[in-house]
Structure 1
Amino acid sequence: MADIGSDHALLPVYLIQAGKAARAVAGEVNTGPFRAAKRQVESAGLASQIDVRLGDGLQVVQPGEVDAVAIAGMGGGLIRDILHAGRDRLSGVKRLVLQPNVGEELVRYWLAENGWFLSAERILEEDGLTYEILTADRVEQAAEKNLALYAKREVGGRTISSSALYKLGPYLLEERSGAYMAKWQRELAKRKAVVKQMERAASPEAAERKERLLKEIDELEEALSC
């Protein structure tokens, strides 16, 4: 496996020690975390199994070298950009495990548009922070499976749109855990606060943005109440 943006290489070290991976690449773009990762791997006695490499995104691996890639702890837009810039390096990769801090829907859209099927989602809360983990696999008929996964649906007499499913997460929305519902109550409160602030703005651009936000709030509240 490869851990992109590995920081202290804690994930590769854990996976090797737990017997969940045979070999790993820990990639870092900055020299400070790169050196920290090397020290961590050497102190764990795993230098023969974990190769720490300095480089930008997926450029640290060669096509066909790894069969799983993890990218965690950064924004969804950056994860999307790393995947897109390094898509030629994903040859042979069967699974992606991605943990965006924000902008999860950007990752879901990229996966669906590039032949990956979102096979699982998890959410957890730790120290007051919420984390979503998205797992995507290379599968046959990925396009058809994605169409079904994100298809507009009726639940309890209410409509859940495709755009809401990309934003809310199709599996997480179905599960509706306490951490998940608490997260979206906070997100909705933020959007409503922005709308309230915009009521004092008189520009056409502000009015247009306010209308978009109100529509998004209605769409999300309807999906979450199903």
Structure 2
Amino acid sequence: MINTLKLSERLKKVSSFLPEGAHFADIGSDHAYLPCYVCLRDQKAKAVAGEVNIGPFNSAKSTVEAYQLSNRIDVRLGNGLEVLGDDTDIKQVVIAGMGGSLIKTILDEGKSKLSSVQRIIAQPNVDERNVRRWLLKEGFIVIDETIMEENGHRYEIIVADKKGTDELIDPYTKKQLERQLLFGPILLKNKTGIFHEKWQSEYKKLSRIINQMKEASNVDNEKIERFEKELLWIKEELQDEEQRN
């Protein structure tokens, strides 16, 4: 049965950041594939699969029952982190496959539910900076990041532990903060080919946006200036990588 559950490479990578014996919540769990995948491979793991809509909630329950994991995976209906309730046993939270703005909103609205949570694993589809900024503001230290590609899409995974849970080293520097929030402090140190490809694409996209903004009837000079600064950062990172190669 363990081999019948097929998980995307993206979610497999997300699962790799959960410790052995994890007791975690998967927010927006859809069919509960991630919790089932983890619990089938780790007999000590337990999970909460959270869903806000009744359709995916029922699908998740069906998956959990099919793999006979109802004793270790609790499927709960609720909005965002409210599915954690007063459960202080949950130590990790996974939020994957949503926009960064939505992930930030979920974390912000459910902040009171995170008192016992030691690790947040976020995989935003876009706007990773928004997630990093929230984590920094709320006392979570980014301990790992990765960028990967699957089916023509690039994904970033951000792993952050709560301050005080260990001897953590803050990867951010005051001088480079905004730049690190954009690119990812750890991704900047370990640039891969996929990182390079992503920012080549973003450079072209941002260049087009700036040109369109300059031709608009109402020119937002402040926004253009901010975008041009980011464009320069991207150019510098790409040039730095090309010089290394």
Question: Given the two structures, how large is their TM-score scaled by the length of structure 1?
Answer: 0.89
Matched with 1:107 is 131
Q: Aligned partners of 2:137 and 2:187: how far apart in 1?
A: 20
Q: 2 CA distance for matches of 1:145 and 1:175?
A: 16
| 2:239 pairs with 1:225 | yes
- Map 1:1-226; keep pairs closer than 5 Å: 1-19=24-42, 22-63=45-86, 64-140=88-164, 145-146=169-170, 149-151=171-173, 161-205=176-220, 207-226=221-240
Q: Is the 8 A contact 2:213 2:219 kept in 1?
A: no
Counterpart of 1:91, as a letter, is S
Q: Give TM-score, length-normalised by structure 2.
A: 0.82
**3-state SS in 1 of match to 2:89:** coil
Give the superposition deviation at 1:118.
0.4
Equivalent pair of 1:9/1:40 in contact (CA under 8 Å):
yes
After the TM superposition, list the runs of 4 or more consecutive aligned residues in structure 1 that deviate by more than 4 angstroms: none
1:157 maps to none
Distance 1:194 1:30 in 2: 36
Secondary structure of residue in 1 paired with 2:29: coil
* Displacement after TM superposition at 1:16 (Å): 0.2
Contact 2:25–2:94 under 8 Å retained in 1: yes
Q: What CA distance in whole angstroms lies between the structure 1 residues aligned with 2:101 and 2:217?
A: 31
User: Is residue 164–residue 223 contact of structure 1 (8 Å, CA) maintained in 2?
Assistant: no
RMSD: 1.9
**What 5-or-longer segments of structure 2 have no aligned partner?**
1-23, 241-245
Q: Percent identity?
A: 44
Give 1:21 deviation, angstroms: 5.1
- Give the unaligned 5+ runs of structure 1: 154-160
Please state whether the residue corresponding to 1:176 is helix, strand or coil: coil
CA distance in 1: counterparts of 2:73 and 2:219, whole angstroms: 55
Encode CA deviations 1:39-58: one digit per residue, 9 max, x unaligned: 11111111111110100001
C-alpha deviation, 1:123, in angstroms:
1.0
- Over 3 Å counting, the alpha-carbon distance change for 1:21 and 1:179 in structure 2 is farther
CA contact (8 A) 1:25 1:51 kept: yes
Tell me, yes or no, if the aligned pair for 1:15 and 1:21 is still in contact at 8 Å: no
- Number of equivalent positions: 215
Q: Deviations over 1:132-179 (max 9, x none)?
A: 11111123399x943xx22156xxxxxxx3211111001111111111
Counterpart Cα distance in 2 of 1:140 and 1:53: 29
